Amino acid sequence: MAELVSGAQTWKDPNATPFIKIKNVTKKFGDFVAVDDVSLDIYRGELFCLLGGSGSGKSTLLRMLAGFEKPTSGTIEIDGQDQAGSPPYRRPTNMMFQSYALFPHMTVEKNIGYGLRRDGAPASAINERVAQIIDLVKLGGFEKRKPDQLSGGQCQRVALARALIKRPKLLLLDEPLAALDKKLREETQFELKKIQETLGVTFIVVTHDQEEAMTMSTRMGVMTGGKIVQVGEPHEIYEFPNSKFVAEFIGSVNMFNGRVIEDAADHVRLRSDDAGCDIQVAHGISCSPDEQLWFAVRPEKIHINRTRPAGDANITEGVVEEVAYMGNHSVYLIKLASGKQVRVLQSNLERHDSGATHGSERVFLTWGGASGVVVRP
């Protein structure tokens, strides 16, 4: 049975069979619709992230995959098997909870081997598997410690090892890094991704953290109001959001409202009072004359100029209100004549730049025709 290897993109193969098929799944709690007619295919070996804010439905969808909740309607298939009526312990899944749920009276090795002991596996096999997984998650030397003798990051790895030791076909992770501090969370993101790639196990991760989803996932699904509103690879979601909501939810973005004044196959032109200029975008869009649309452009795609560049579009003028030095980059807040505040990010390539833009300076902002996208609300 083929597994996804690093760099493979099974979801782009029209002949590939999805490992997980979620079809028209709805979950209601009384009158409240937590998950609303969701359909989604996930392929073997993916690290797929369900990304959304609180109440978006992502954790409920994960719990239905695990068997802890039953769909009100719709079907869930895992590896070709319909999971209707199948309890959690009969599914080819394991779940790592946000709280880690470690046994406080057990050592690291006892916590990790708990599931195999319950299954009645021979002691020799348990010891061998525990040693292998401890090495994989880099917990060597901690075997005899108990949870209260471990750091948050070490507890997280114990929980991961315990979830993986039974070699599930599918591992479900609910906010697995939420309890870690920022630096440790960033380090653990790469460790988790490396472990997933090494084992080839399909991971589905629920998170509210956009950076976490962007860093780890092969693909991600953005959820709001119980629906998945866009699915794609991280760069697709970031560079080509399909709506105003997705553009604003993923990372930082500048949004300009505008009216369509020119619509061609290879470009669209908006007249924008927000931006104080015409906006020309180097891609077509299905729209109506005079339709009101939004233009989304990321802060790092905008350039600051002290003199007005040539051209009749994508050029506006404003005053620098604030400058925030962030080390590897600086963030500029620039107020346009319309009152719109624009966020611009510039890399700090020099250790000391005496010519850097400063507060209260009047500047021109420009961006390329392919630097942003037109979206609808």
DSSP string, 266-283: S-EEEEETTTTEEEEESS
Number of compact structural domains in the chain: 2
Nearest to 306 by CA among 377, 244, 363: 363
* Whole-angstrom distance, CA of residue 45 vs CA of residue 171: 10
Q: Do 170 and 152 reside in the same domain of the chain?
A: yes
Q: Could you count the other beta carbons within 10 Å of the beta carbon of residue 92?
A: 15
pTM metric for this prediction: 0.88
Residue-level pLDDT at 321: 95
Q: Position of tokens 């380090």?
A: 187
Per the CB < 8 A criterion, the answer to whether 102 and 155 are in contact is yes
1 assigned to some structural domain = no
Domain that holds residue 361: 254-375
129 assigned to some structural domain = yes
Which amino acid belongs to residue 117? Answer: R
Q: Do 296 and 234 reside in the same domain of the chain?
A: no
* Phi, then psi, of 309 in degrees rounded to 5: -70, 165
Neighbour-count burial of 109, counting CB atoms closer than 10 A to its CB (0-12 exposed, 13-18 middle, 19+ buried): buried
Nearest to 247 by CA among 181, 312, 294: 294
Last residue of a domain, one of 223, 244, 265: 244
pLDDT in 10s for each residue of the chain, 377 residues: 333 334 468 888 888 999 999 999 999 999 999 999 999 999 999 999 999 999 999 999 999 999 999 999 999 999 999 999 899 989 999 988 877 788 999 999 999 999 899 888 999 999 999 999 898 888 899 999 999 999 888 888 898 889 888 888 999 999 888 777 788 788 888 888 888 888 889 999 999 999 999 999 999 999 999 999 999 999 999 999 999 999 999 999 999 999 999 988 888 999 999 999 999 999 878 888 889 999 999 999 999 999 999 999 999 999 999 999 889 999 999 999 999 999 999 998 887 776 677 778 999 999 999 999 999 87
Residue-level pLDDT at 61: 97
Q: Do 161 and 49 reside in the same domain of the chain?
A: yes
Assign residue 173 the CATH number of its domain.
3.40.50.300
Q: Do 178 and 309 reside in the same domain of the chain?
A: no
